[in-house]
Amino acid sequence: MTRAAPTADAAENLKTGMRTEDNPAEATSPEPPERAAGPAPAGENPSAEAPSDGPKGDGPQGGGPQGDGPAGQGPDDEPAPEERGGVWADVLQGSPSWLVSLAVHMLILIAFGLWLLPQLPKPETNLLGTQLGEVEDLDSIDDILLDPVDMEVEELTELQPDTEVLADEVSMSQFNELTEAPSAVELSDLGLTTAPIATPTDLQGFDGTGTTGRGQMARKQLVRRGGGNEASETAVGLALKWLAEHQSPDGSWSLIHNTGACQGRCGNPGTYPQSARAATALALLPFLGAGQTHEEGKYQRVVERGLAALVRMGKPENVGASWSDPGVPVMYCHGLASIVLCEALGMSDDSSLRAPAQGAIDFIVYAQDQKGGGWRYKPREPGDTSVVGWQIMALKSGHLAELSVPASTIKRANQFLDSVEKKNGYVYVPGNGRTTNSMTSVGLLCRMYMGVKQDDPGLIAGAKRIAKAGPSADDYYYNYYASQVLFQHTEGRGPMWDTWNEKMRDQLVNQQEMRGHLKGSWFVPDRHNDRAGRLYTTSLAAMTLEVYYRYLPIYGAKAVSTEFPE
């Protein structure tokens, strides 16, 4: 199958613009030759070298010989009266005064209108298929997003109505689970410079790693095996439809989701007015989780435009490239965008995404606190567990997409996790004595991605703590991480997982909006939800319901144990 690179955004078409042709020379009547103060003698042409025996020219390009005056004028060729002032002089002299006045006023109005015409946005560089060094700064895009505009959504009716129809109608990814699953390598094998090349494994598609469970056949079976159902898959389909309806015309999204086509019909927008990069990444993650790519799937065009917008918004740095919005913590935004780029590359193997994805990984490596090993809001700040979680997930996604991830970066990240781990869980920052369920979930998932064994006492104790606490009614951030921890720890089976999953799954299905323009979205009041808004909560809820197939179990029965390189 030939892969098509994403089309450039419409702004790229403005890059060359319309080439202005040179104005053709104006055809004007010849000026009369200079004459002495008195009349010249008859038959004498002071400016001609010799009299002409041939025919006179009819105009400037006539056939007679040329003198010092206009071409084609003979000795007796005094310009006619109508030639002296030109055609336009005759038109003006012969026109009524009211017509002349009307023409002058029209010219003034046209000039005034052109003066007031707003300047077109600066054309942006599309990084798909280009080098990162060619990227231009796109901070101005955020302002464009806030202007109410009309948007036509492409045939979004009756999408993914139920689990069975979804499996039959939607081409979820290019992977052929029978022949193209990656080699059965433990998901925690992040320390290698790059992930191994895909090779055939089992016939069920379950013993590959990473995102291979998002394919059509594997997804359907994994939903049943992990405890999903028709209602949970329908909820995911409705969430994708809502997200597609709130995509901006340029392909991006905003946490202020209720501008544009929404026209304010959905409440609870976020509080970050300039958030195109963070919001675009958050919106794309559920599509990728459901197996929708920019190359195929019912939402192919939505994902294609979203990826093109995200790549276009990258900013070249001394090391790699970054994705950050004004007012949004840099590394939160960058971590999310990096996960999207790496997952899209890994799912499609589209070579045009490799440079932006590797640039995103390189910036994460650069931004790590070299002493403590963590990440926080700005590059090289002492870390916190929450920001570290997104960076580790991005590095894992990059590793699975065969990008370069230095082992030294993982080693320092493990040192940071050591500094925030306590006997009963994980704290937010080193030295903070209070552990929380949220930070414990983030810390445990990072440990899993970086190689902790399934029988590790800290992992077992942390999983029991999360299971005992149960899902939160409003903390979607915690629910997202905790669901992944318990699913990976239990391999999606057994009493611990069944109890958690039943409550979590049914709670989200019941909390989803089912009325009007809100249909398919989620929002419940919470200090994080209130700041990030409805698009944020909808993305996290959908990804939580995709837990059955978003990532295959880390501790699969046939997983190969591989140590980090020394």
| Structure confidence by residue, pLDDT tens digits, 141-151 | 333 333 443 44
What value does the mean pLDDT of the chain take?
74
The predicted pLDDT at position 209 comes to 44
User: What is the CATH number that goes with domain 214-550?
Assistant: 1.50.10.20
Q: Say which residue the tokens 């700041």 belong to.
A: 531
* Domain spans, the chain: 214-550
Mean pLDDT of 423-433: 92
For residue 36, count CB atoms less than 10 angstroms from its CB and return exposed for 0-12, middle for 13-18, buried for 19 or more: exposed
Pairing relation of β-strands 315-316 and 321-322?
antiparallel
106-110, 373-377, 435-439, range with the lowest pLDDT: 106-110
345 confidence band (pLDDT: 50, 70, 90): very high
Mean pLDDT of 174-182: 29
Highest mean pLDDT among 93-107, 121-135, 371-385: 371-385
| Number of DSSP helices (H) and strands (E) in the chain, helices first | 18, 4
Mean pLDDT of 185-207: 32
Q: Is the pLDDT score of 552 beyond 60?
A: yes
Per residue in 480-501, pLDDT (tens digit) is: 999 999 999 999 999 999 999 9
The predicted pLDDT at position 443 comes to 98
Q: Is 509 or 148 the better-scoring residue by pLDDT?
A: 509
The predicted pLDDT at position 506 comes to 98
The predicted pLDDT at position 389 comes to 97
Per residue in 393-414, pLDDT (tens digit) is: 999 999 999 999 999 999 999 9
Distance of alpha carbon 215 from alpha carbon 80, whole angstroms? 84
Highest mean pLDDT among 207-216, 261-270, 529-538: 529-538
Q: Is 473 or 554 the better-scoring residue by pLDDT?
A: 473
The DSSP secondary-structure symbol of 66 reads P
Mean pLDDT of 223-251: 96
| Contacts for 484 with CB less than 8 Å, ≥ 6 apart | 441, 445, 547, 550, 551
What is the helix (H) or strand (E) element at residue 54, kind and residue range?
none
CA distances from 438 to 385, 420, 425 (A): 10, 13, 10
Is residue 58 within 8 A of residue 70, CB to CB? The reply is no
Q: What is the pTM of this model?
A: 0.65
554 confidence band (pLDDT: 50, 70, 90): low
The predicted pLDDT at position 433 comes to 79
Q: Is the pLDDT score of 117 beyond 70?
A: no
Distance of alpha carbon 535 from alpha carbon 138, whole angstroms? 22
Distance of alpha carbon 563 from alpha carbon 566, whole angstroms? 9
| Contacts for 512 with CB less than 8 Å, ≥ 6 apart | 235, 238, 239, 520, 521, 522, 541
Compute how many other C-beta atoms are within 10 angstroms of the C-beta atom of residue 441.
29
108 confidence band (pLDDT: 50, 70, 90): confident
92 confidence band (pLDDT: 50, 70, 90): low
Mean pLDDT of 30-58: 39
Residue 154 C-alpha from the chain's centroid: 18
Partnered with residue 427 across adjacent β-strands are: none
Mean pLDDT of 515-522: 96
Mean pLDDT of 258-263: 82
Per residue in 9-43, pLDDT (tens digit) is: 433 432 333 333 333 333 333 343 343 333 343 33
Compute how many other C-beta atoms are within 10 angstroms of the C-beta atom of residue 556.
18
Closest residue by Cα to residue 540 from 554, 528, 527, 552: 528
96-100, 181-185, 189-193, 214-218, range with the lowest pLDDT: 181-185
Mean pLDDT of 320-332: 94
Mean pLDDT of 189-211: 35
Provide the token pair at 317.
């740095």
What is the helix (H) or strand (E) element at residue 468, kind and residue range?
helix 457-469
CA distances from 50 to 39, 45, 55, 76, 485 (A): 19, 8, 14, 13, 104
Q: Is the pLDDT score of 194 beyond 90?
A: no
- Return phi, psi of residue 421, to 5°: -90, 130
Q: SS3 letters for 352-420?
A: HHHHHHHHHHHHHHHHCCCCCCCCCCCCCCCCCHHHHHHHHHHHHHHHHCCCCCCHHHHHHHHHHHHHH
Mean pLDDT of 425-434: 92
Helix then strand then coil, % of the chain, to nearest 5 = 45, 0, 50
